[in-house]
Structure 1
């Protein structure tokens, strides 16, 4: 959802509140809440509601990121393909598929090397060299090339990567990238233009058929987030990941015509502050009040557009599993809220009490252990 734990900064003002009260023994915990996610920056549900009310994408992004202006960014981005975790980089054979030795002009047409190959892969040997291998149907792998350095596949169209979880097509280049100087530990990295990268991000972050201005606002936020991350790369051989730790990225397999149009309509547009792309965090919903982020353009503020609410029934067994030192569950007590938003604000600290003692944890820990959408919640008996 566009967030990095190392930069997350939640401004929580201590406010001692009345306990929510004990639940009857063996009764499940009934909760109602607002928001979904960390609540910093743009609210996707808020943007959608604003757009359906006639608010344009420029006003939406300027409202969620106050003090910023529109700028431009292009170039490429290097994305870790986290599902490909078996050490090799495997792709399906296709017309025009080539392999290049990274850092050189040396390139091979894979059709010319083996016209009968169904799949190709690059893996590292124990000396850190790239080993190119081909497989025909169900037969074993046959080595075609061995050379020092990294290697990358490319073609005139998307390249389909085969991972332990399945198959996904990606535009740009698919690299077997060394994670360290030895070259023996490899990751699969997609090096792709920023605009093509967005085509695989935006429809994974919001429904492509939402109001066009909401999808355009998401495209600007996602493009800006990626442009910022290039200056704060996660590793030496890639800049950003493909999960909700960064932004969810599904490659060419995720593309949709409606989100493609939103990307074209905002082409190269980013939000800048001080001449640089901002850290454009976003979440599904802030529940009507955003959380302060680590920069002035990510303030805590009321959001009249965000309508998202939720309810949850938490079984006693889940509470006792999540807090396994308390014995038989008896009650919870909200000890502190941040004072901003519904119910007196997001939960900062909560105490869970049972027959053998109690456990006081942060609101984020409570939410994480029980799988709640956010920390803005209360019991339904209030």
Structure 2
């Protein structure tokens, strides 16, 4: 995930970190391995607490900084993929994918006028060229009652009715890019832009972009990894992202689209996000995906940095092992520290009163401090609370669940 997508992802759980790469945070792993530990810190009044940590994200599957480190050491993209997803087989995937454009959340679909723009009525299958002498301010698809869609154009400072479709309506530009108006500005997209009915009887319309898998990747890979990185790393990212999308397509998020365009899926910016370096990596790996020994499409989780140990996931090829590539000189997420106070924890869990001790009782047993945190108990003057490492990460804005505490009086 590129620094740009990192900032978007961090807004959901922590403050922006400009040097970081993002994490596919919503995809889940299997339950963490449990290794009991007894690590307790007494907390004096007005304590200064340092949280030391390793990695950024869930750490399952490919480390993006690790891929960079491996590429710098001369590994080819297929060797990088075999390291992070041991036991997978090569496969291929083609076809199209449908993506919900979440930034366009006003219930309408508005595109700028352009040559070759065509309207498709999904209810009847009819295709109608959009007139070029109308809609100097753009064209809009909006709710028209029942399952119909109103098509209107902007002129004379207002929206003007043009026609009504019998079902969902689609804009298509004969293979060209269309400029979509969305929250915060505009962006260009290939393929088609559809005003989708999210559920029967809904009065709103979601914007869905249907595009070929290869063109979809062109809008994903530069959002997930800087296109300027060593080519083998970007090629590995291309295969991982293609595989993730192809796997998601087998279990669509909803009946109207396969996956979203945010950090909850893969960050997708459409044609506007495309860059030459990532386009080249996508072309060089065209159609290539990973499979679980030729059976189902692999679940290719990845994250910014694993801190030196991959985290076991829900599939046999998502294993826990030491990673010699993650700690390269560019990786500012390999190790990190955050300064907080006792008041930070008291504000996060006010039911404990004044914090008196911290106890980590369960980790995954891999790496420094016995690895990633599974369970933490905070005790205070009014009570105690036991929470998961993931909850601590979210509440305190940490980069991962692989962390440890240092406590001192202020």
Provide the TM-score with structure 2 as the length reference: 0.88
Q: Does 1:8 align with 2:29?
A: yes
Equivalence for 1:176: 195
1:310 matched to 2:336? The reply is yes
Q: Which runs of 5+ in 1 are unaligned?
A: none
Show the counterpart of 1:276: 296
Partner of 1:108: 128
Q: Answer yes or no: is 1:135 the counterpart of 2:154.
A: yes
Look up the match of 2:372: 346
Q: Partner of 1:56 in structure 2?
A: 76
User: Cα RMSD (Å) of the superposition?
Assistant: 1.8
Match status 1:358 vs 2:396: no
Partner-residue secondary structure (3-state), 1:8? coil
Query: Residue 211 of structure 2 is aligned with which of 189, 192, 198?
Result: 192
User: Is contact 2:142-2:204 (8 Å) kept?
Assistant: no
Match of 2:163 in 1: 145
Q: Report the equivalent of 1:321.
A: 347
Structure 1 range deviating more: 257-266 or 301-310: 301-310
Cα gap change, 1:71 to 1:370, in 2 (>3 Å): same
Shift of 1:360: 1.0
Per the alignment, do residues 316 and 93 of structure 1 end up closer, same or farther by CA in structure 2, a change over 3 Å counting? farther
- Asked if residue 285 in structure 1 is aligned to residue 296 in structure 2, the reply is no
Structure 2 contact 134–153 (Cα < 8 Å) conserved: no
Cα deviation, residue 344, structure 1:
0.8
Normalising by the residue count of structure 1, what TM-score does the alignment of the two structures yield? Answer: 0.94
Q: Distance in 2 between matches of 1:74 and 1:205?
A: 21
1:221-263 per-position Cα deviation (integer Å, ceiling 9, x unaligned): 0000000011011000001111111111111111111111111
Give the CA deviation at 1:184: 3.1
| Aligned counterparts of 1:341 and 1:103: Cα–Cα separation in 2 | 57
Output one character per residue of 1:42-85: Cα deviation in whole Å (capped at 9) or x when no partner.
11011111111111110000111111111111111000111111
Q: 1:75 pairs with 71, 95, 106, which one?
A: 95
User: Pick from 258, 275, 286: which aligns with 1:256?
Assistant: 275
> How far has the Cα of 1:295 moved from its partner?
1.0
2:118 to 98, 109, 113: 98
| Cα shift at 1:4 | 4.2
How many angstroms does 1:3 deviate by?
Answer: 5.1
Could you tell me whether the CA contact under 8 Å between 2:42 and 2:358 is conserved in 1? yes
CA 1:162–1:18: 2 relative to 1, 3 Å: same
Work out whether 1:22 is the aligned partner of 2:42: yes
Q: Distance in 2 between matches of 1:222 and 1:16?
A: 37
Q: Which of the numbers 356, 359, 365 marks the counterpart of 1:330?
A: 356
- Cα distance in structure 1, aligned partners of 2:179 and 2:194: 12
Higher alpha-carbon deviation: 92-101 or 226-235? 92-101
